[in-house]
Amino acid sequence: MSMKNIVTALSVSTALSANSTYNTERLTVVNACETDPIWIASTSNVPDQRSIKLAPGARHTYNIPQDLHSTRFWPKMSCNSEGQECKMGDSGGPGQSCTKGVGCGPPVDSKFEASFGHQGADCKTDAAVCDWWDTSAVDGFTLPYKVEISDACKTNGYKGSDIDCSALTLATCPTDESIPNVGNVNLQTKFPGTGEVVGCYSPCSGLTTDNWKNKLGTHKVYDNVAGLFCCPTPPISAAQCRSGPVGTSQYSNLIHSKCPGVYSYAYDDANGLQACPPETTYVWTLYCPGGTPSPPSPPPSPPTPSPSPPPGTWSPCTSSSAHCCNPTLHQVCPNKEPCEACGGGAACECPSGPAPSPGPTPAPPATWEPCSSSSTACCNPHISPKQVCPGSAKVKCEACGGGDACQCPSSDSTVVV
């Protein structure tokens, strides 16, 4: 073998060896919708199934070969068992079957588009080997999403950024977009027959797409109605486009607010297309049409338990109590049983016991006061026959302005009757 052939063979071998070590797991798609499956469609140049089902919480990683250009991925929902004939994302293409009798839907899909570069080459000196990707909303949107990129595109001089469109729900789609020479227009994309909202037109696509018998979609991108929103060049320049109604439209403001960094029309000033080194990996997370679920409300705090009385027969004094005592003063009941706590208060009900025989009723003292922690004896004025206070006077219990335990006058006994 000649030296020239040997060098050529070594070069081919080295190239094949380098090519075999690159990372193919470049794009991962996640279904973050907790209630429904999402099918992922892709263009025919992607080496995988044309429709891949993701159950709630599932993910799929695409193996991307070197230099795979002009790819597109988009979500579909409410499909048949084969991931075809869907209500959402049924915009057609190779390997896609649209709903019979209805036809393909308008191409308003939320999307991830990329031309994947050549790993091992220098993206800084040759833009042709970089990854170029975007999630344009120029045509419209269907599902909220976010894109997270690896640090390879955020370090070493690269300025890539994640995209967060998780708040871009179908409920936010403008329903009264002002279109000069037309009037106020509803940009909601509705499935024929059911009227279910399955997408959101951009003003340009709403005026120029006649799929599903869209009555407004009869204009051409260059006429005096749609041209102001589609901005074909020529005749409309980038400056004319930005200064026209599309730049201040509700739709454009919505995308800038809920999906910052994404194009909302042809000459938008948003970041749009991003360039990343070909070693970058991407995670595209898709949410339900209504967006991310709200976190559950915290459970109510349990009520503070009331102090419960100790086991036994002791309970707070009430109007039906026969005898009362004060446990804080170590009083005793008529049966000589020491007073015990009853779960709160300064008057506790004595256990059942013999009641003393009532004596003569002397004149009541001048004042009666509620039983307190300083009382030496208590009685209940609200039961019959009247209780009497301890001591030789046998003073009958009188009301003390409230409560069921009243302080007895000074006595020569600590027995509570």
Bigger pLDDT: 317 or 237? 237
Where do the H-state alpha helices sit in 61-124? none
Give, for 29, the enclosing helix (H) or strand (E): strand 25-31
Cβ atoms within 10 A of the Cβ of 131, count?
27
Residue with tokens 């990707």: 133
In contact, 34 and 58? CB cutoff 8 Å: no
- Strand, helix or coil for residue 22: coil
Query: What does DSSP say about strands 112-115 and 131-134: parallel, antiparallel, or unpaired?
Result: antiparallel
Is residue 124 left, alpha or beta, with left meaning phi > 0 and alpha meaning psi from -120 to 50?
alpha
Residue ranges per structural domain of the chain = 23-286, 313-356+363-417
* Per-position DSSP letters for 356-375, written without gaps between them: PPP---PPPPS--EE--TT-
> Which residues, 6 or more positions from 21, have their beta carbon under 8 angstroms from its beta carbon?
none
Task: Return the closest-CA partner of residue 252 out of 205, 206, 203.
Answer: 203
Taking only the tens place, the pLDDT of each residue in 153-166 is 999 999 999 999 99
**CATH architecture classification, 23-286:** Sandwich (2.60)
Task: Return the closest-CA partner of residue 118 out of 27, 42, 43, 23.
Answer: 23
Taking only the tens place, the pLDDT of each residue in 257-314 is 999 999 999 999 766 899 999 999 999 999 999 987 655 556 666 665 544 444 455 7
Taking only the tens place, the pLDDT of each residue in 102-135 is 999 999 999 999 999 999 999 999 999 999 999 9
* pLDDT attached to residue 326: 76
